[in-house]
Structure 1
């Protein structure tokens, strides 16, 4: 084996991903199967050659066993969902604001009369501050809730478990929460130093620049505006705001230059750089991507000490193996997987792509020297994009062509900004006056990067949706063609021809998908928790009916997936405070031609602010009727109920707390019933489908009833209703 650590590390990670997909119940059986295959491959002389298969199966068996043992920590908290208990714990991270609450990460010391995993954590959401900062001990009665979703791959529960967080907590009486003392530790001291750096950044930079610098240096995006985050995401450079290999490489280079400038002996330089890397990893929170890149940098330094050159793929495999051995749920972290894929793509493809580009004009002359850095950056970008595509399509369902020019225009300025801002913040923590001059170029660079991201994200097709069955079909065909090229190429696979075929297949799939949706009305009932949220689309136009649920995020993700920039209509359904807040946030990102709501709903400051982005705000009395898209769709309201008419479909929305006496008699004749709560009696209704827009607990209570219709639950994923030509209807759940 040329790269044993790469083989073992990637096999271990792949096995953990498979275990996440199938769940903890099947993990022991998968471990047994992998152990049997390892035994067969090891004992067979023909299959034992090179030990590749044996090592892979051994790594897989260990991964399945590790996941099965680790998942017991997640299972033991299931019985704590919904209870109120006295909790004692320590704040182990800097507090931040989220959804109008202050969020504290609490490491639990004790939950009254209940067992809890050792060193397990909970996220506490409080309306008022309950602690000063890291190290404070907190005691009080809190209500515990499991995160939404299941323990499937990349679900919220699994991704939080990767960080050791198992439950959400809400104080029952915030005034009764006490802080009996403090705990001190090395980690608390590091957090105090990080808080001091935050204060230094706030003192020397403007508010917007400080938020940007914190995101760039520490990966903390809580203060960064959603608009800036969205611009970076759409333009394909969101990795600049997530501390990873790029940041560690820049910091390592900066520390090396500074220590060598002091003319220190080589061993002291190496030790100083290693200490700086560890400190930077700590201030960035030891996230998985930071740990991956930090371990690789430390291996590189170790190789320099031993006068050996570290192999990139072996270093990557060892880093992956160490992280996954420590935490089996690391495979549930999408950022970690994308970081690994991007690094592998750069290591395997960047050099070859750069050589191919340089051959276009020869290797001599001034032009070659000028273009070589551009080619290196372009090759790294293309290599990373190529290897992250199989992950980004299933996870996000979008492709960002703007990522190529964005990386060319922003990577070098980001590197300069990272070095300057780090030195400025360190100087500001010691001598604030001396750092004020250095803050000027930092501000210029921040402004340039924000403007560049905003410009590129506003370009047509900077990012577009490619998701669902079509994306999975194309991805499967592309991987099949690549595998076929490798198998039939006999050491010289025809990658150019394969790439051309993949591009042609992609264009054909994209065009055929768009053509299939022409003059088709799509109604997507979103998975947003306990609330009704619908998106109507037809020929590139969109309307939103209902913004219920725990957040506006599912709604914005769906609109982004449909490449929607503006709405023709946004209508509230339940008129609750939460729905008004979600609608206000949605309008900030997606302006609407018409906002429909009750007058009293505008008492919500968030909705009132968002209504300024609407072309017209209409406050209705008892009801309304709105026709959309040349009468293809009509949205009606009577009392507490909303009905959508499209083709032969009559979709009735039943919000929570609706008074059945306000429901018109003829509206009971519906074909699809969308419910935030179930009616007292369903005898007067005869829909073909009943869609429950409820959380997991509510669905489990109503699911066992005997219904005359086909029951569906958004808790299992969004449901799409397509009404096409001839008024034919498809009800489907997107992958």
Structure 2
């Protein structure tokens, strides 16, 4: 059988991916059905002889069975601890993140040994090092629905924080001897500190650390937004590109020193293992590391490795022990891009070469240059096209300018990766520090170029298309597949036919969606730190509400630009004493405002008076009407919104629920700015959204009465709620 591991591994991976979107009952049913099909195949000669079919069925049986078993025996039992306290002895397995979060492993207590918990710390009373022991009582909860898949992919099924009113009751034990991985983690921390401590880097240090080692916490939100807009956010994640570059650079350097090739290959393999450990064992980098090791070991033993077989082995090895790894977006993007390079690129290259051969006589000497340029375009297209369904499904947007951005930015990113990874160890060797300074200087110049290019491309109108409608996330990839299939089966004639029918299907979907969504309002509470930034959308119209600190304006502007919204119907700033009233220019300089609605007066009245807008309304004990059946009113600093019969209440920071009367305290949705108000238990609601930062989430949650109503938070993702104005609330699930 040709490429057996490719068929087995990729079939297993795709079956797990399908299982991740299904309910447990359905995965069990599919496991049983595929098992029955496998048994039938064993007794039917025609099927038994077709080894490819039997292997695909076997892979499906294994995938659905393993996913079901993992869900029933590992994940579901732990969910019973949601809202409970447990006496535990845990060991930290990583360094504390900037948001005061650390991953711990249970080594004793009421939970099974080996259970991983996402532990939130205050950052003041307790700050453990890797492999320190913590012992005490912890409050446990399940992760937010919006980020649950991410944590499951990393083997983390519960959140935890110190029970009671502080961390002083948690016993902190420092071990006499720490394992070898401690030194790897310390090396990772040292690498970040080395880059961030460099002088005169002009704001490029964070991006260099992100590109070379995957440290995203130091990248500014504007740079991250620009990279995402132009479709090159994958450059900020350590992937196969990094592993391939560094392994080949190390191999070239060792061969230059005339070290025997087998020894050079062995040292390069060890370097790959060290780099994978240094970057935190992310699923995407593990996949790339496994493929690179297979390639290097194959060369050591004199056997040429097959790309597709290596891909199959790597994804099978990653997911066979942790089926939830298929939920990792980085792994999906890495797998898709690699598959495109291995399968799609040869097809595109053959087609392009055939076209160039026909015209090579007319082009003369320019044919060679043209061939190189076309080959670069084909590589970019092959790596980009298979990732489009993943990007659409995960982020709900697609960058039209991504191919150009990749052409302009991938190679410079490679330069940053190699120079930064070489500069960090050289910096710690005093006689060679001058070489390190030179390499950091090169990385700074190239990174500055990347920042400028991303800013320029992101400023182009409609650089990104936002696929708001969920059906478009399915239709667009399906249309691409149909067009490719039509071309493969019927040539150019089939391509034209499938393209026309795909356009017709999408137009019908858009028209049907508009009819069904008429008078439906979407309320999106943005991830804006301690501020409340709300986007209201209905029938193609958009409004913005801001309360709290200054991050509201920049968060709203970025989200509106992502959705290609150039003008909003209104901008509401209820309290002119809020910090968001001091810097609304971050929004109004980039987005047009038809009507500015503000409080009567406040500390930042002069700033707001100077804003660009077509109209102005000041609240003065009145009710503001918008969109025919929507009303906004102030209640002693609280903002009340009525959308038909649906009521929304937005609290100011450090507020009191006692400022509201009994009727005002009854609402469908309540949005808390910064934290819970005093007397929060007196508020009656269907659901609530807490706007705060991740480092204070555990402390803020203690102020709420548990199980009174579902409480969501914006620490990791935006929260979108849909209503028809009948008092109904439907929380949209984002697959990220």
What are the within-5 Å matches in structure 2 for residues 42-441 of structure 1? 42-71=42-71, 72-98=73-99, 102-111=100-109, 114-128=110-124, 130-131=126-127, 133-149=129-145, 156-171=147-162, 172-182=165-175, 183-204=177-198, 206=201, 208-362=203-357, 363=360, 365-431=364-430, 432-441=433-442
Q: Distance in 2 between matches of 1:734 and 1:661?
A: 29
Contact 1:640–1:659 (Cα < 8 Å) also in 2: no
Cα separation, partners in 2 of 1:505 and 1:225, compared to 1, 3 Å? farther
Contact 1:595–1:618 (Cα < 8 Å) also in 2: yes
1:637 is matched with 634
Cα separation, partners in 2 of 1:583 and 1:297, compared to 1, 3 Å? farther
| TM superposition shift of 1:501 | 3.8
Q: Distance in 2 between matches of 1:383 and 1:194?
A: 33
Q: Distance in 2 between matches of 1:470 and 1:417?
A: 39
The root-mean-square deviation of aligned C-alpha atoms, in Å, is 4.6
Contact 2:210–2:237 (Cα < 8 Å) also in 1: yes
Q: Give the TM-score taking structure 2 as reference length.
A: 0.79
Deviations 1:452-481 (A, max 9, x none): 111111111111112324404624752773
Cα separation, partners in 2 of 1:228 and 1:38, compared to 1, 3 Å? same
| TM superposition shift of 1:401 | 0.8
Cα separation, partners in 2 of 1:119 and 1:638, compared to 1, 3 Å? closer
Q: Distance in 1 between matches of 2:282 and 2:618?
A: 49
Count of equivalent residues: 683
| TM superposition shift of 1:168 | 2.0
Gaps of 5+ in 1: 150-154, 603-607, 683-689, 704-714
Q: Distance in 2 between matches of 1:392 and 1:21?
A: 16
Cα separation, partners in 2 of 1:731 and 1:73, compared to 1, 3 Å? closer
| TM superposition shift of 1:290 | 0.5
Contact 2:597–2:619 (Cα < 8 Å) also in 1: no
Contact 1:521–1:537 (Cα < 8 Å) also in 2: no
* Further displaced range: 168-177 or 560-569: 560-569
Q: Distance in 1 between matches of 2:53 and 2:581?
A: 54
* Further displaced range: 635-644 or 319-328: 635-644
| TM superposition shift of 1:254 | 0.7
Any idea what SS the aligned residue of 1:213 has? helix
Contact 1:204–1:428 (Cα < 8 Å) also in 2: no
Cα separation, partners in 2 of 1:87 and 1:186, compared to 1, 3 Å? same
* Further displaced range: 327-336 or 77-86: 77-86
Q: Give the TM-score taking structure 1 as reference length.
A: 0.80
Q: Distance in 1 between matches of 2:732 and 2:117?
A: 33
| TM superposition shift of 1:621 | 7.8
1:453 is matched with 454
Cα separation, partners in 2 of 1:203 and 1:324, compared to 1, 3 Å? same
Cα separation, partners in 2 of 1:468 and 1:515, compared to 1, 3 Å? closer
Contact 1:640–1:658 (Cα < 8 Å) also in 2: no
Any idea what SS the aligned residue of 2:173 has? coil
Gaps of 5+ in 2: 673-679, 691-700, 711-716
Contact 1:638–1:664 (Cα < 8 Å) also in 2: no
Any idea what SS the aligned residue of 2:119 has? strand
Cα separation, partners in 2 of 1:692 and 1:119, compared to 1, 3 Å? closer
2:713 is matched with none
Any idea what SS the aligned residue of 1:436 has? helix
| TM superposition shift of 1:270 | 0.9
1:686 is matched with none
Contact 1:597–1:618 (Cα < 8 Å) also in 2: no
Task: Report 1 or 2 for greater relative contact order, CA contacts < 8 Å, sequence distance ≥ 6.
Answer: 2
